[in-house]
A and B are shown apart, each in its own frame.
Chain A
Amino acid sequence: MTAPLLAIEDVAVELPTPRGNLRAVDHVDLSLQAGRTLGIVGESGCGKTMLSRAVLQLLPKKAKLTGRVMFDGEDLVRLEPESLRRLRGRDLAVVFQDPMTSLNPVLTIGTQLMETIQEHLELDAPAAKARSIELLAAVGIPAPEQRLAQYPHQCSGGMRQRIAIAIALSCEPKLLIADEPTTALDVTIQAQILDLLAREQRRRHMAMIIITHDLGVVAGRADEVAVMYAGRVVERAPTQALFKRMHMPYTEALLAAIPKLDTAPHTPLPAISGRPPDPTRPLKGCSFAPRCSYAGGRCQEAKPVLTSAEVSGHLYACFHPIRMTEGIEA
């Protein structure tokens, strides 16, 4: 295998809070090849955004980051701020849940697009403008030329997210991180935006990380999925393998708790009892133990480490993994 485009190595993020140190990301290892899509799923507060911010080197100032983030042969953690700034927006782009995080409300859409393009690519104004129009058309904005003169507030939420994507794509990034890009949007618009991301990703042979709390979003769109719980990656596998035979009780419980369209009305949902642990009070054992129906004595005492399953690339962190042999599939 060729060297991955991105290798997250033993990354941990700690945040000081009034209640004590909060371990938002707890020693995560992940890697991603060029042109591939990685989905990161997990409940609110499990550390998805902190992990992506650790990759982008956009953590809160007081955060403490350890580990390495190798991107295209360089460790981003140790990169000069100037080189980092150049990298972000060119090779490394990001789309946030709220498009207004990346858009400037007082600048026109045209200005914002052209500024990004001219900052990173050597294009004169007319060429940058032409490219802006091209990009807006590519992300499905009708009458792109007229849009250039408009401000973000004159666009709908779906339009703004398209524009944020156009800006993110403007310099042909090698890696696009999309942090819940569709969570704030309606389902029909969500489907359009996810299609758009998938299409552009294929066309540009770009690597992509999609962060979401919706297993449905990653099922159809990611090559590989990492499930996070309480700051750690607890299961990771090629998408097909994960959905066919998940080994981690948490992954199974998460999937079971989602209402399904093919279930009859009034069927009680297999809910996960309780809630995730307080991140300032780390547990000695498996952090899912208080909610896990498979937990045994050892689960309270030690943290399970990621272990390889039979399918290559499938890893799980559990002392009592489920569906380990053929034939016991649900």
Chain B
Amino acid sequence: MMQLAARPAPLLNVDNLVVEYGLGNKIVHAVSGVSLQVARGETLGLVGESGCGKSTLGRAVLQLRRAKSGRVMFDGEDLTAMEGEALRRMRRRVQLIFQDPIASLNPRRRIGDIVAEPLIIAGIKDAAERKRRVHEVLSAVGLDPDLVATRLPHEFSGGQCQRICIARSLVLNPEFIVCDEPVSALDVSIRAQILNLLEEMKARFGLTLLFIAHDLAVVKAVSDRVAVMYLGRLCEVAPSEQLFARPAHPYTALLLQAIPVPDPDVRPAESVAAGEPPSPIAPPSGCRFRTRCPRADQRCSAEIPELRQVAPGQFAACHHPLA
């Protein structure tokens, strides 16, 4: 199959993953054959516009949504084939952090209990041990365990709730975390605090991250490599610096151009690609970006472009990649 940034035994290896939803008698093609790899200790950023399938992909990796086809290999084991107790045991090693921190915390439970919950589910019966772990992770995310453990979620701001969620995701000592837009709902000043915290936690606990966001600058700040997704497929995967300096896929270039830069000397480029993403219920034939692509030709509607290497470590799915 495709080899992306071939390194010795990646921690996560997603191979040709397909995820669909039924919608009445129609099918939503949310993820249509995505392959990617994440090395141990690496952060892979995943960007794309709303509805392109980022969350679906993240959830399918964690087996929270079963794929229609394709495989998810984690540390050499096939998660897609796992069930029952084996899957439950595996789930301790992988975690998920959500976009809406406030909504993902049970409003009637105390912070200490919320953070301890994964430990209880994992069957850790020793209450003193649980308390010790909860204290450890709450301190790690910059909260004072003695002050916060007995309080309820509504007493905390969005940024503090996200710290609590991060603490909860760390409590089982996972190896891999899917961060699904962890800072999108936060203010700029708080966003920077949380991004720094994630980086710190990653170093301290030796984590591997799949970091999902729609903000390219946010993704660049934390990612070693970035994957760009459009309408259920990957367009481009490359080391962060390279992707931003020399995008090969026209969609990556469009995304980069559209970002408002906080510098008045940078005149915003007149928005080039008009139009909006088509529906994932009836995605275009061939290249799914072709309805908005300035370089599209006949081949683009006839033939699905495969991800292929365009520069060392850089892969693009395009018949006419940018130089």
Measured CB to CB, the residues of A under 8 A from B are 43-44, 140, 156, 158-159, 186-192, 194-195, 213-217, 219-221, 239-240, 243, 253-255, 257-261, 263-273, 275
Q: Does B274 contact A (CB under 8 A)?
A: yes
Size class of the B contact interface (CB-based, 8 Å): 35 or more
Give me 6 A-to-B residue pairs in the complex whose CB atoms sit less than 8 angstroms apart, sorted by A's number. A44-B187, A159-B276, A186-B49, A214-B188, A259-B195, A259-B218
Q: Would you call A263 and B188 a contact (CB within 8 A)?
A: no
Contacts of B254 in A (CB 8 A): 188
Q: Would you call B223 and A271 a contact (CB within 8 A)?
A: no
Given A259-B217, A267-B221: A187 and B188 within 8 A (CB)? no
Task: Produce 1/0 per residue, B233-245, CB < 8 A to A.
Answer: 0000000110010
Which residues in chain B, 240-266, are within 8 Å of chain A measured between CB atoms? 240-241, 244, 254-264, 266
Contacts of B257 in A (CB 8 A): 191
State A48–B151 Cα separation when bound (angstroms). 31
Contacts of B214 in A (CB 8 A): 186-187
Q: Would you call A254 and B189 a contact (CB within 8 A)?
A: yes
Q: Taking each of A156, A159, A257, A273, which has the highest tally of chain B beta carbons within 10 Å of its own beta carbon?
A: A257
Q: Does B138 contact A (CB under 8 A)?
A: no
Q: Would you call B262 and A265 a contact (CB within 8 A)?
A: no
Q: Would you call A220 and B271 a contact (CB within 8 A)?
A: no
Contacts of B267 in A (CB 8 A): 220
Contacts of B85 in A (CB 8 A): none
Given A186-B50, A265-B221: A239 and B264 within 8 A (CB)? yes
Residue of B nearest to A185 (CB): B50
In the complex, besides A140-B274, A243-B263, A255-B262, 16 extra interface pairs with C-beta distance below 8 angstroms are A43-B189, A44-B187, A159-B276, A187-B214, A187-B255, A190-B260, A191-B258, A194-B268, A257-B192, A258-B192, A259-B192, A261-B259, A265-B241, A271-B192, A272-B192, A275-B189
Residue of A nearest to B185 (CB): A44
State A192–B193 Cα separation when bound (angstroms). 31
Q: Would you call A220 and B240 a contact (CB within 8 A)?
A: no
Q: Would you call A187 and B49 a contact (CB within 8 A)?
A: yes
> Interface on chain A toward B: helix, strand, loop, or mixed SS?
loop
Of A44, A214, A263, A264, which one neighbours B260 at CB under 8 angstroms?
Answer: A214
Nearest CB of chain A from residue B149's CB, rounded to whole Å: 20
Residue of B nearest to A142 (CB): B275
Given A187-B255, A261-B259, A275-B157: A158 and B268 within 8 A (CB)? no
Contacts of A266 in B (CB 8 A): 199, 221-222, 224
State A124–B259 Cα separation when bound (angstroms). 43
Q: Would you call B264 and A220 a contact (CB within 8 A)?
A: yes
Of B189, B255, B263, which one neighbours A253 at CB under 8 angstroms?
Answer: B189
Of A156, A258, A271, which one neighbours B276 at CB under 8 angstroms?
Answer: A156
